[in-house]
Chain A
Amino acid sequence: MQDRTVQWDVTNEARVKKDRPSAGRTFLKVFLAFIMAIGLSILLSWPVVRNFNKIQEIALHFKPKAELQSTATRIGLGNLKTYQESLDKDLAGIQKKLSVFLPKGPFLIINTSANNFRLMNEAKVLREGVCSTGSYTILQAGDNKQWIFKTPRGMFKILNKVNDPVWKKPDWAFIEEGLPVPSANHPSRYEYGVLGDHSMILGDGYMIHGTLYKRFLGMPVTHGCVRMGDADLEEVFKTMQIGSKVYIY
């Protein structure tokens, strides 16, 4: 009987010993739990970081909105009417000064991004259509020479109107064709019929003119000039006068 009790105690003690974790294993478990907590923390923080501005905007929504008191105090409650009148007067003055910039007659707006145009008179659209503008090609030749074929942006004026224009080919036109550049007034520089029936001079060598390449209208293919189809060119040429404004963007 006594022997059996002793035997039981020994077995129990061994099992308890086996179940008790060692210090190393406990440390490992704590460390694992720590790593898991940090990982989860970063995981939970990520949506906060990614939507930081949105969360801030939501939080700002609950702040009290701006009040009008300070404006009323600045002006003075007794002066509201007179102040409004002076504001109206100021506004009318500014509007008058601004109206000087509005074109007095017909004007042309050219969109180089969409390659289209609008012929306008005050707020009325007289004609709309497609055109071709600069191709944004940089032509590089030897001797560090290069040309960029882009349509300039800004406000221009029609400096001259020409019927049956003749194109005097610049140097780049020969270089682009792989031809030797002739002298300044060489007959090979003059080409007839390639600019259509009319051209309108914008300055610095830029023009609005017709084209032989009608299939390219609506595309950025030119060397900087604005090309139009025959009917559009006819209408624009008739409507625009010398001094009329051309807005290119």
Chain B
Amino acid sequence: MNSIGSFFKWFGRNRRIQVIFIILVLSLPLFLIIYGIILPVRNYKPSPASSTVAMGSTDTTGIASVRIDDAQLAEVRTIIRKENEKAFQKNRLSLAEKDSIYMVLDLPDSLLILEIKGVAVKKTKILDMEISNRFALIPHENLLPWISEPFTLARDLSTIPKSPIVIKQAPKDTIEAAKTSSAPQLPDSTGVFYTFYFDRNLLVEVEQANPPEEDVMERVKAYRSIKRKESTRSVIHMLKKPQQNDQPMMIKLVVSDVDARAMYRAVPTKTHLILKL
């Protein structure tokens, strides 16, 4: 106790040590904020395209600005809405022509739709959503080519299995078959959380609205832990290359657990998503 007291006495007396101490304490958080947040945000070029994906985005930086009045502004807004609608319907048509089950994320109407060959078989009301601020920064000229093709699922992370498979060994005889329980599987507990990682940097997180039940908390914790690790990895990646421009375009959706499960189980592993802005 005496030595701790003497340490703090020494520390309190030593102004130079105090200054160095404060500098050291603040150095790492400041470094993270400057290199990981301020610099990338300042240098962020508003385009959703990753450097690895060839996109037909238009570079709008060289276009001379024109003066537009309010009436023309309204018309341009209508055109933007219609261009988005056209891209959306064209995507629906292209996927309807293939035999596939795909998702439609309709942000203006807050709907997550499951379609099979152009027919909406399930419409899920989005109860709550968070959309990355990047969407508001990117000009329509760059967003339009980005949404003009369906997104393809690259991988996913989930708390529920894609198919709840049970393996059963064939019984040797009728006695063994009679002993084998024929009781149906109980309905799944609620704990539906998943992330879809699409190409072109689109990331869609889906969460159930109600809190997870106790018996699935372990799975949910494991899922969140993986997400945290991924986030930490992205911070390190960002610190290595603060000028990079391929941060994910994140959309987080909250839907009911029944809908979230049905949607996850229904879509194929390499499913497509159409985004309506």
Is the CB–CB distance between B75 and A154 below 8 Å?
no
Interface residue A2 (Cβ < 8 Å from any Cβ of B): no
Is the CB–CB distance between A70 and B231 below 8 Å?
no
Is the CB–CB distance between B29 and A219 below 8 Å?
no
A137 CB → nearest B CB, Å:
5
Contacts between chains A and B (CB distance < 8 A), count: 250
> Hey, which chain A residues are within 8 Å of B172, CB to CB?
178
Closest A-chain residue to B65, C-beta based? Answer: A69
Cα(A73)–Cα(B228), bound, Å: 43
Cα(A177)–Cα(B101), bound, Å: 35
> Hey, which chain A residues are within 8 Å of B27, CB to CB?
41
Over the window 66-91 of chain B, the binary record of Cβ atoms lying under 8 Å from chain A Cβ atoms (1 yes, 0 no) is 10100011011111101101100110
B149 CB → nearest A CB, Å:
15
Is the CB–CB distance between A84 and B25 below 8 Å?
no
Interface residue B163 (Cβ < 8 Å from any Cβ of A): yes
Is the CB–CB distance between B168 and A138 below 8 Å?
yes
Interface residue A29 (Cβ < 8 Å from any Cβ of B): yes
Is the CB–CB distance between A139 and B26 below 8 Å?
no
Interface centre among B38, B86, B138 (most CB of A within 10 A): B86
Over the window 63-95 of chain A, the binary record of Cβ atoms lying under 8 Å from chain B Cβ atoms (1 yes, 0 no) is 111111111111101001101100110110011
Query: Contacts A63-B41, A179-B174 given: A37-B21 contact, CB under 8 Å?
Result: yes
> Which residue numbers of A lie inside 8 Å of B, CB to CB?
21, 29-30, 32-34, 36-38, 40-42, 44-45, 48-50, 52-53, 55-57, 59-61, 63-75, 77, 80-81, 83-84, 87-88, 90-91, 94-95, 97-98, 101-103, 107, 109, 111-114, 135-142, 148, 150, 153-155, 175-179, 216, 219-221, 245, 247, 249
> Which residue numbers of B lie inside 8 Å of A, CB to CB?
7, 10-11, 17, 20-21, 24-29, 32-33, 36-38, 40-41, 44, 46, 58, 60, 63-66, 68, 72-73, 75-80, 82-83, 85-86, 89-90, 92-93, 96, 99, 101, 114, 116-119, 121-122, 132-134, 136-141, 163-178, 184-185, 187, 228, 231-232, 234-235, 238, 247, 250, 258, 261-262, 265-266
